[in-house]
A and B are shown apart, each in its own frame.
Chain A
Amino acid sequence: GAVVSQHPSRVICKSGTSVKIECRSLDFQATTMFWYRQFPKQSLMLMATSNEGSKATYEQGVEKDKFLINHASLTLSTLTVTSAHPEDSSFYICSPHPAGTDTQYFGPGTRLTVL
C-alpha cells in the first residue's frame, strides 16, 4: 500500500512561535493534498486543499495567513502554523491524493501542543 509520512509526529511549542509540518508521499505522486485538523474527540475537519504548484484553497473560517500551505512538489507538502496560540493545539493530518485515481491516503498525523 501507499506510504505517507508526516514529520514531526509530535511537537510542543511556545505561544507565538511558528511550526512547520511536513507531509511526504513516499511511493506515489500527489497532485492534490488535503490538510485536516482534528480536535480531541471530534471528527476530521478539512482546512485546505492544495494542488501542486498552485495556491491552496482554504475552507471557510480557516485563516490563510495563519496556516501557510506549500505544495511545491508532487511528493512534499508543508503546513506552517504561524504565531501559534494554545487554541491551535490539535491533531493535523495530511491526505495526499494521486491524480487519476479515486484513492485517498492519510498521513499518520502530527499532534501540536501550544503552551
Chain B
Amino acid sequence: AQTVTQSQPEMSVQEAETVTLSCTYDTSESDYYLFWYKQPPSRQMILVIRQEAYKQQNATENRFSVNFQKAAKSFSLKISDSQLGDAAMYFCAYRSARGGSEKLVFGKGTKLTVNP
C-alpha cells in the first residue's frame, strides 16, 4: 500500500519570505500523480498544484512550485513571496494512475503560519 509522509507538523514563515514544505511517499508503482492541497480554516480543500510522475519537469503555479525527485520519492512544495492568505493546513497526496484506483492517499499535513 502507498504511504505519504509529511515530517513537519508545523512550519512558520515571515510574510514575503519563502518556505518549503516536505513530503515523501512510498510506492512500487511507476505511474502516479502527486498533489498538494490547501485546507484553510473554512475546511474547504483547495488544489494547489499537481505533478504527473512521468513528467520530469517540476510543476509551477504562480508562487507555488514543487521539487519532484522521483528516485528519492520526494515531493516538496515551495511557496515564494508568502502571503497572509497562505496560512492553512497543507496536505500532500498520492494517487495511482492505474485505472480504477482514483482514491487519494493523504499525508498527515503541515500547518503553515505566516507572520506579518
Query: Measuring CB to CB, which residues of chain A are less than 8 angstroms from any residue of chain B?
Result: 32, 34, 38, 42-46, 49, 91, 93, 95, 97, 102, 104, 106, 108-109, 111
CB-CB under 8 A from A38, the residues of chain B are 43
20 contacts between A and B (CB under 8 A): A34-B102, A38-B43, A42-B108, A42-B109, A43-B109, A44-B91, A45-B106, A46-B103, A46-B105, A49-B103, A91-B43, A93-B43, A95-B45, A97-B102, A102-B95, A102-B102, A106-B44, A106-B45, A108-B42, A108-B44
CA distance A104 to B106 in the complex (A): 14
Q: Separation in Å of the A89 CB from the closest CB of chain B?
A: 15
CB-CB under 8 A from B107, the residues of chain A are 43
CB-CB under 8 A from B84, the residues of chain A are none
What total of A-B pairs shows CB separation below 8 Å?
A: 42
CA distance A102 to B108 in the complex (A): 23
Interface residues of B, CB < 8 Å — how many? 16
| Candidate in B45, B95, B104 with the most chain A CB atoms within 10 angstroms | B45
| Candidate in B97, B104, B107 with the most chain A CB atoms within 10 angstroms | B104
CB-CB under 8 A from A97, the residues of chain B are 102
CB-CB under 8 A from B105, the residues of chain A are 46
B33 interface residue per 8 A CB criterion:
yes
